[in-house]
């Protein structure tokens, strides 16, 4: 409950930041426009975000015939978690990674890269898929979609502010003048990324814990994270690099530092995640 309250407070802070940027660029009128725009984006994200992100990564839906091992793992874990069977997708990408999306458990999807299926064992894949189903169970997929939508919109406003400043615009509705433009250009995206980072980190820790409970073996997920951390750091994900606002969706950070956004990791330290899972396994006894 405490984690959920913290997430809602951070979401409120990000929304307030977006409205504040609208105010700095256009006064009260700009704030109202920003509010309407944010509402429209979130409605669109609620109904279409899963389709957009799956299409962005060219994910292909699979079933029990085309990917029997992965589909079987997800089905077994969904039953254990008391969740509806999500759609299962495979992404043709050498970087081992995975994510979940969808507005609710009834409309959820989980996706794994070909790199993950190639490099991880059956047990490690189960640990990863359990983590993604934990995001579905906790409804993190909707929360993080809204977060990414607002963060992306703030970045768009920063680009607008840059254009506005470069054109030497003199907007009388802008209460802070050129100072407001500079604040939007420089501080806005950084502040948005910091809030997004805080929300994502809290949800990742919780998904690790719930995922370990779903698969019943915390060490499976700990081993998977260790291997993912080692291999993913050496393999690029070009689509994620071009769309850094989606980085938080993955189980491990897909970015390699070629963008401003990657200065702020949306994922907790891998060492801490692994340590907590091993401590959880120890508390669970020899079968952890």
Rounded distance between C-alpha atoms, residue 35 and residue 37, angstroms: 5
The helix/strand/coil state of 83 is: coil
Contact between 27 and 35 under an 8 Å Cβ cutoff? The reply is no
Query: Quick check: is 279 catalytic?
Result: no
Could you tell me which residues are beta bridge partners of residue 110?
88, 100
The helix/strand/coil state of 111 is: strand
- Alpha helix segments (H runs only) across the chain: 2-56, 68-80, 114-119, 122-137, 140-166, 177-215, 218-232, 238-242, 270-284
Question: Which of 169, 190, 187, 191 lies closest to 178, judged by CA?
Answer: 169
Task: Supply angle C-alpha 237, 210, 96, rounded to 5.
Answer: 20
Rounded distance between C-alpha atoms, residue 88 and residue 226, angstroms: 24
Rounded distance between C-alpha atoms, residue 288 and residue 280, angstroms: 8
Contact between 251 and 228 under an 8 Å Cβ cutoff? The reply is yes
Among residues 61, 124, 132, 238, the one annotated as catalytic is 132
Catalogue the active-site residues. Answer: 132
């Amino acid at each position: 409950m405490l984690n959920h309250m913290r997430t809602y407070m951070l979401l409120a802070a990000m929304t307030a930041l977006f409205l504040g940027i609208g105010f700095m660029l256009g006064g009260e009128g700009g704030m109202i426009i920003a509010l309407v725009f944010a509402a429209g984006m979130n409605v669109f994200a609620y109904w279409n975000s899963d389709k957009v992100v799956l299409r962005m990564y060219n994910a292909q839906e699979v079933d029990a015939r085309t990917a029997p091992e992965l589909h079987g793992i997800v089905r077994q874990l969904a039953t254990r978690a008391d969740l509806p069977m999500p759609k299962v997708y495979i992404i043709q990408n050498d970087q081992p990674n995975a994510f979940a999306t969808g507005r609710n458990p009834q409309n959820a999807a989980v996706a794994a890269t070909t790199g993950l299926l190639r490099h991880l064992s059956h047990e490690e894949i189960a640990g990863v898929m359990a983590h993604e189903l934990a995001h579905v169970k906790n409804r993190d997929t909707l929360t993080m979609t809204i977060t990414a939508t607002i963060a992306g919109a703030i970045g768009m406003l920063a680009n607008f502010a840059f254009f506005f400043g470069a054109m030497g615009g003199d907007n009388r509705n802008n209460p802070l003048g050129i100072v407001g433009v500079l604040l939007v250009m420089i501080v806005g995206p950084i502040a948005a990324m910091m809030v997004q980072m805080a929300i994502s980190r809290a949800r990742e820790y919780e998904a690790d814990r719930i995922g370990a409970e779903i698969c019943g073996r915390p060490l499976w997920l700990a081993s998977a994270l260790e291997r993912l951390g080692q291999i993913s750091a050496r393999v690029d994900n070009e689509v994620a690099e071009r769309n850094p606002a989606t980085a938080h969706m993955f189980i491990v950070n897909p970015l390699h530092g070629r963008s401003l956004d990657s200065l702020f990791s949306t994922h907790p330290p891998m060492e801490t995640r692994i340590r907590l899972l091993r401590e959880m396994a120890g508390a669970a006894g020899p079968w952890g």
